Structure formats: C-alpha cells, structure tokens
Structure 1
Amino acid sequence: MRKSVLYKVSGYLLVILIIYWVFSSPVSAQSFKKKRYTSYGFTAGASNYVGDLDANFRTVQETDYYVGGTYNYRYGPQVTLRGQISYTNVHGKDANSRDEARFYRNLSFKSYVVELSGHIIIDFFENSGVWTKRQIYTPYMFGGIGVFKFNPQAQLNGTWYDLQPLGTEGQGLGALGYDNYAADKYALIQICLPFGIGYRYKLNSHMDLAFEIGWRKTFTDYLDDVSTVYAQPDDIVKQSGPVAAKLADRSNEWNDPNISNGYLPDNQRGDPTDDDWYILTGLHFTYIYRAGGVKCPKFR
C-alpha cells in the first residue's frame, strides 16, 4: 500500500517536472542568462528504508543517517540544476516488526548506499532579479535520476558477512545447472529516481538553508537481500558453505518449540513485486559563489 502511493506520487511529480521543463518560456530563461549563478552545498540528515525488512513504522530504531555534497547551477527564475553525491546507511530488522510473520522470519541487514545523482529543482515562487535579491523563502519540488552502489550485510555470531556473494536465495546456482535458480547474482550498482519537496530560507546574501524530504525509487528488490523464495539449504551449502545457509533462513534461531524449525524450499521469503526504496530527510546548507568569484574587501 505504501509503495503503491509512492509510485503514484513519483509518477505525477516527474510528469509535472517534465512538462514544466519542456514548456517553460525560453524567453524567460534567456533573459535570466546574465543573472545565473552557482552555489556549493552540504547536506546531512536521517535516512530510512522501505522494503521487505522494514518494520512498517518509523522509529529511531529504523532510522539511520546520510551526508552529502551538492553543486547547484541557477538556470532560470524558478529552475536550479543540482548535482549531488551522498553517503547513506540503511538497515532493517524483522525482530523490530509488529507483523508476526515478519517477526518470526527473523532476517536482518544493513548496507551503505553511495549515490551520484542529478536533479531539476523548481521553486514555487519566481525570482527574476539578481542573486542577492532572491526570495527570502520558497517551497520547491525536485526530480531527477541517479546511480547508486550498495552492499547488504548481515551479522552472525559477531561477524558481518557480505550477502550478495553468498546467494542466499540460490542466485548463481542456475549457471551451475541447478533448475529454478537465477543464473546471475544481483548487481550492486543500480539506477534510482530521486524526487521530493523542500523549503528553502535565505540566511543572508550568500547563504541558504533548506529542509528537504527526498524519496529514492530503485529498480532492485535486493537492497535488503530479500526478494523471492527460500532455496534448498543443501544447494546453498554446495555453492557458498554452511554460513550462507544459516544466513538464508534464521527463523530457527528463536529456539522456540512453538515456532516451526525453519522454512521449506519455495516458501515465500520476500515480495518480488515491490522494489525497495530509501528516503533522505535532512538539511541543505548552500553557499552562493557568484560568477567571477567572490570579491574580497580591500584593505588600505
């Protein structure tokens, strides 16, 4: 339900951005040409993940952090082009879930996410003047495209293991002649579509501060290493060893006689119909560097 709403919101927002970009007046952009400027920024805040291992509610337990840098080019009275690089941490843990089935599944993960993306930012209020006369405050929306690298890990007996090489759902066994398994492991570099909203405030002639919420729609269901069904444990052991089999099914770690001792092959492990998302919520601090450099005061 949450993901279907995000799909609709992202679709509508991207359509609005494209329509605005295509049909915005070239005359307005041309008249603004001599007033264009660049700025550099720093951003930091909270990160959250939406996927097979999220707990269906947002708490401190489900929140991590991100940091990043931006380069911004003010293109027109309402349009800014932004390049952003960010380092994010995300994690999920079934033990935090209120859903009984997820709780007993008992899977968990953490991953870094390094993202490089480009955004089109559209201010709600127009500023046709020079950069020093920009709006004191303005809400805005943005959309774009990016590429990101991730690496899901899980902990067993105090040691962290990279999950992708282990093929916890039998990925890679198809290439070895095993039926019903994927031939290749999932890629750790993927495409994302960033979009969101923000509110920017002018601190002084050179500095802006903004609060922003940005969603990242990905095209992978393996940000958390969980997507399809349980594999045959013996098959996983043959390819990657007993540790991989233990990390693939952790339901028996509860040591509870009322809980089934592990899942059977082909039992549902994740939901392959919904790709994973991550969300960045934080502050953006930018410093405007006008064309020709910032002039320093003269001392006599």
Structure 2
Amino acid sequence: MNYKFILFLVFFSILSVAASQAQDIEFGFGAGVANYTGDISPSYKLQNARPAGEIFVRYNPSPAFSLRFGAMIGVIKADETKSDDPFSQRRLAQFVGTVYEASARMEYNFRDYRAMSELNRLSPYVFFGGSVAHIAVNSNYFDNQPNALEIALPIGVGLKYMLAHNYNLGFEFGARPTFTDAIDGMLQDDTIDNVSNVGKFQMTNLFTKDMYYYTGISLSFTINRVVCPTEFR
C-alpha cells in the first residue's frame, strides 16, 4: 500500500473542504530542515540537520487561535562514526530515513498581528496537535523498520509577521515526540540479546522513545479576507 499517497490524499481532502467552508483561510508552503534524537543521537545536533519542506492550510477563526493542517517531507540522519564517545565508537551505528507526515494542530497567537497596525504586525505563537507519519529508514545495524504509520505529537513555538493584508511570513521550531523506538532502526529485540549488546553495555535505551523535528520558514497567502479600513479600527 502506498502510504505516502494516502497521507497527501488526506491532506488535500481536508484542504478542499476547508476552502469551501472557511471565511478566512491561508494557503502556504515552507522550507527548512529536519532533525532527530534517539539512540544514535541522544542530543539535538546541528550536523544531523537535513532538508525538509511543507505545505499547509490554516484557518483563523479568531485573532488568538488558528487551526492548521499540513503535510511535511524531510530527511533524517545520524552517524556515530565521527563521535567522540567511546561506546559510540565501538558501536558505529548510522542510519538515514525519510519522513512523510500529515498533521493537524492548534496555534495560539499571543498578539493580534493580523490587525496590521504598525506596532502589532509580529506575534509569537505556540502550537500543539497530532500527526501520522510514514517513516522509511535504512540502518547499518538491526534494520528494524517503524510501523507503517507512526503517531507523533507536534509541539513547538514560532513567530508570525504580517507582510501585507494577504501575506504572512512565519518561522517555527517544532518537535515530534513519537511512541516508537525504531526510527533509527535500533529497536531492542530480546530474542537477539546476545547480538544487541557489546560487552556489558545495553545497545539501546529501553526507557526513551525517538523524536524528530522540523525547523523552517514559511510564506502563506490569505483568501476571503475583508480588510477593515484603518479609520474604523
């Protein structure tokens, strides 16, 4: 089954319904980088950043709240061959993968930046939501594959700046905590315990789950917006 096709079909179905129903809606796209933390890279490292991009539709029912539906594709990678950690130097695990994500989330804007006043065109925001992702990985270690569709919980922060009445510039950083430990191909399997350990060291952390991230800039265009004359604001 082509899960990538299903994810994008769901996104565009939502987009079509929203376009026919919403009074104030944005269509946008963005570019940035994807990243990962897990057994191979427990901490966030800039050298692991790889290209990513997104498209989205955002519905604005009020100045404070927005609903956003999006699709993202990104490359994730980690490599222990250049690590300074002695255990990592012994294990030498590495992987590369591709994430295809469809998400829905709520955004809270701290300021009414869409009012277009000179002092109020910039607003920080926070967001949270849910997503499903198809993640395909190629690992040099166990080569365990994530489930066909993994669930994640997007959460993050960003900035929005209203360039003009119809154009919005954005920047955001978001994390995707998941419920799997197989994004890097290193899901622990008790049936191969003698293979999955080096000496007395556990090869994977059984108490944490993998995460992936997206950081990027975006540009969106608002349709069906009635602009109120300045003198009536």
Q: Quick check: which has more Rg, 1 or 2? A: 1
Matched, 1:271 2:205: yes
Q: How does 1:74-223 map to 2 (within 5 A)?
A: 74-126=60-112, 135-154=120-139, 163-164=143-144, 187-223=147-183
* CA distance, structure 1, for counterparts of residue 143 and residue 109 of structure 2: 42
The one-letter code of the counterpart of 1:137 is: L
List gaps (5 residues or longer) in structure 2.
1-21, 227-233
Q: How does 1:34-73 map to 2 (within 5 A)?
A: 36-54=23-41, 56=43, 58-60=45-47, 62-73=48-59
The one-letter code of the counterpart of 2:151 is: I
Identity %: 23
The one-letter code of the counterpart of 1:144 is: G
Change (3 A) 1:263 1:229: farther
SS at match of 1:164: coil
SS at match of 1:104: helix
Change (3 A) 1:195 1:140: same
Alignment match, 1:280: 214
SS at match of 1:138: strand
Structure having the larger proportion of residues in strand: 2
Change (3 A) 1:202 1:105: same
CA apart distance, 1:88? 1.1
Could you tell me the TM-score, scaled by structure 1's length?
A: 0.61
* CA distance, structure 1, for counterparts of residue 65 and residue 165 of structure 2: 19
Q: Aligned residues, how many?
A: 204
Preserved contact between residue 160 and residue 171 of structure 2 (Cα < 8 Å):
yes
* CA distance, structure 1, for counterparts of residue 147 and residue 42 of structure 2: 25
* CA distance, structure 2, for counterparts of residue 126 and residue 277 of structure 1: 32
The one-letter code of the counterpart of 1:277 is: M
Change (3 A) 1:188 1:103: farther
List gaps (5 residues or longer) in structure 1.
1-34, 157-161, 166-185, 235-247, 250-261, 293-300
